[in-house]
Amino acid sequence: MRKHVLMTTVALFVGATSTNIAAAGDVEVLHWWTSGGEAAALNVLKEGLEGQGIGWNDMPVAGGGGESAMTVLRARVTAGNAPTAVQGLGFDIIDWAKQGSLANLNDVAAKEGWDDVIPAALQQFAKVDGKWVSAPVNVHSTNWVWANKAVLDANGIAVPTTWDEFVAALDKLKAAGITPVAHGGQAWQEATVFDGVAMSVLGPDGYKAAFIDLDEATLGSDSMKEVFDRMGVIRANVDENFSGRDWNLATAMVINGEAGFQMMGDWAKGEFINAGKVPGEDFLCFRFPGTADQVTFNADQFMMFDQGGNVSPEQAALASAILAPSFQSAFNVVKGSVPARTDVSDEAFDACGKKGMADLAAAAKSGNLFGSMAHGHASAASVKNAMYDVITAHFNGEYDSATAVEELVDAVSIAK
Ligand code: BGC
């Protein structure tokens, strides 16, 4: 069944891109899509390109959130050997563009009308100083919770919509001997949870003030202490083996019914789908309690590194293929994300995907769409990393909440 779906989506994609710029040659693609669900999504792109006669030279660097991939990238660029295309997020893309490392995709973008179909929230990270420098693949968001439906049902738990209801659900699961929260102890995963917790406590204005404007008063506020207190509650509901666990193994705990919930971006849905699970039947997706109207987003893009001259035909073909509407649908159905274009139908998407698309459109319209701090869409890498350090130190019991707030203010003021 799954195979059939994949083959159909690939066929669709190849068909739709056959009019795209033809090119011979290879692309080397550096990315961090190494989990089962991620690899399945990547295959949609790989096979589609191969259908156009473009060879795929795979350069995977494991590590959710892409920190390790970015380290490898820096080494490659320093050695004068940049890959053709590189998965990138938010402010990292802007940094590489400002350093003059990225090729100019304006010709492809103009020919295909990217200006009209790619939302402004994404253009701010794809178009730098009037130059398109990367091809947006998708939009993910981080303020999601994933739950095992059978586990919730067996314990009389309804989808929690407030923090208090969520805590009551965690208590019930703990009493029943089930791990309430599946979590992997890695800084980026703690920061991902923090996105949702912070949005629910600080609200949209406070989230923006703290993570985008880096306002010292908000960073040092009593509300921020409450954010850390709630992170402490979550910490008290993870299993004892959480340290260092990869995010997809945490998702597997929810899939297997070993744990009730996981707070993770919608790439987690790719794992449920890859395991043959169905939303609404086997698992549930809902926004972190208290963030029903908000979306903290991150968009994967492929930055095209300048290979010494104009954009290469392979790079142009890859960019064009990525933005093809049929690819945007086929890929994102598998990946768990939603399309990076506003004109793609939600028809092929499951219930969580449809919700993701509707939430994104509504949040953009009502001014409730904000870049994810955890995934590089709120501030530059230096600030993001400074925040990671404090959040993870607190999660691991190094700081109490009051100290964490002070450390956060200090760390951000040094890093910014
Ligand atoms: C990326 C996703 C990826 C996730 C886990 C995020 O930063 O945007 O595409 O699936 O990290 O690796």
The per-residue pLDDT for range 358-415, each reduced to its tens digit, is 999 999 999 999 999 999 999 999 999 999 999 999 999 999 999 999 999 999 999 9
Alpha helix positions (H), 347-400: 351-366, 381-395
**Inter-CA distances, 272 with 37, 237, 352, 357, Å:** 8, 22, 11, 18
pLDDT tens for 320-346 read 999 999 999 999 999 999 999 999 999
Give the span between the Cα atoms of 315 and 291, in whole angstroms: 38
Q: Please tell me the residue having the least CA distance from ligand 1 atom 10.
A: 267
Q: What's the pLDDT at 15?
A: 38
Alpha helix positions (H), 102-146: 106-112, 114-117, 120-126
The model carries a pTM of 0.94
Q: Which of 33, 139, 193 to mutate to test the pocket of ligand 1 (most atoms within 8 A of CB)?
A: 33
Identify the band that residue 48 occupies on the pLDDT scale cut at 50, 70 and 90: confident
Q: How far does the centroid of ligand 1 lie from the alpha carbon of residue 66, in Å?
A: 7
Q: Looking at the predicted structure, is the pLDDT value of residue 1 above 60?
A: no
State how far Cα 161 lies from the chain centre: 23
Q: Looking at the predicted structure, is the pLDDT value of residue 23 above 80?
A: no
3-state DSSP: the chain helix, strand, coil percent, rounded to 5? Answer: 55, 15, 30
Which domains does the chain carry?
2-138+300-358 (3.40.190.10), 144-296+369-415 (3.40.190.10)
Say if ligand 1 is within 6 A of residue 92 CB: no
Q: Looking at the predicted structure, is the pLDDT value of residue 24 above 60?
A: no
Q: Pick the closest to residue 184 from 408, 395, 374 (CA basis).
A: 395
User: By the 8 A CB rule, do 167 and 161 touch?
Assistant: no
Q: How far does the centroid of ligand 1 lie from the alpha carbon of residue 114, in Å?
A: 23
Alpha helix positions (H), 159-262: 163-175, 187-207, 216-219, 222-235, 247-255
Q: Looking at the predicted structure, is the pLDDT value of residue 11 above 90?
A: no
Give the span between the Cα atoms of 316 and 303, in whole angstroms: 11
Q: Looking at the predicted structure, is the pLDDT value of residue 3 above 70?
A: no
Give the span between the Cα atoms of 156 and 143, in whole angstroms: 24
Q: What's the pLDDT at 22?
A: 36
From the CA of 299, give the closest atom in ligand 1. 8
**Inter-CA distances, 235 with 83, 225, 406, Å:** 39, 15, 20
Q: Please tell me the residue having the least CA distance from ligand 1 atom 5.
A: 64
